[in-house]
Amino acid sequence: MIEAVLFDMDGTLFDSEKIYARGWIYAGVPRELYLTFIGRNSDDINKRLIQNGFDPVPVRKRKDAYTEEHLPRELALKPGAKEALAYLKEHGYKTAIATASPLERARNFLAQTDFEGAFDTIVSGKGLKNGKPAPDIFLLTAKELGADPARCLVVEDSFNGIRAGHAAGMYTVMIPDQAEPDDEIRSVASGVLETLCDLPAFIESLQADQTL
């Protein structure tokens, strides 16, 4: 039975990924390359920038300048986020944010959207050696929650996040944001939903299937 739900942050809980997308494109990064960044940590992104002929320092500086200007006035929760968390709390599920973003950014986002205190823990992959699609961040988050990985559900918007959750031995559900799932992702995801509004019903159906 599911006992804990682990949420990605950008593009899953917060409608921030579209702002990052515009920032990377503003900095000169092609959208096709930016799409490979989603869910990855800073070191992985820097390696990909270098591999594609970009100097990460000026590119990131230009991208960060854009996002720092736009995030404070444009950041919003994804549809159904508060309702989904209320459902999980009401039914006794442990909850966490597991993000490649810095911990301070996650806390700022929660404060900016009046969503503080909604999660049992927040884990940043900033200091981890292996970012998504490696399972490290989800295994660490399950450990912090005191939850069995096999009884955790990962909620993600990215291919790399779904791969990481699957590698961790967890149930995974994708709610697409910047990219629709392909055949590979559909084959490893436990489900694909339109919005977080659909999450409570999905969990109930998953729990029902497990009791049969």
Q: What percent of the chain has pLDDT over 90?
A: 87
In eight-state DSSP terms, residue 140 is H
Q: Does the pLDDT value for residue 204 go beyond 80?
A: yes
Could you state, in order of their start, the residue ranges of all structural domains in the chain? 4-15+76-211, 17-74
Q: Does the pLDDT value for residue 111 go beyond 90?
A: yes
- Give residue-wise pLDDT tens across range 140-193: 999 999 999 999 999 999 999 999 999 999 999 999 999 999 999 999 999 999
Phi/psi-derived region of residue 87, left when phi > 0, alpha when psi is between -120 and 50, beta in every other case: alpha
Sheet architecture: strand order including 152-156: 121-124, 94-99, 4-7, 152-156, 171-174, 191-192
- The CATH architecture annotation of domain 4-15+76-211 reads 3-Layer(aba) Sandwich (3.40)
Beta-carbon contacts of residue 99 (< 8 Å; ≥ 6 apart): 8, 9, 10, 106, 122, 123, 124, 125, 137
Q: Does the pLDDT value for residue 211 go beyond 80?
A: no
The first and second tokens of residue 82, run together, are: 């508060």
Average pLDDT in the 186-210 region? Answer: 93
Query: pTM for the complete prediction?
Result: 0.92
Q: Is 68 exposed, middle or buried (0-12, 13-18, 19+ CB in 10 A)?
A: exposed
> What gap in Å lies between CA 169 and CA 181, rounded to an integer?
19
Average pLDDT in the 204-211 region? Answer: 82
- Give residue-wise pLDDT tens across range 117-151: 999 999 998 888 888 999 999 999 999 999 999 99
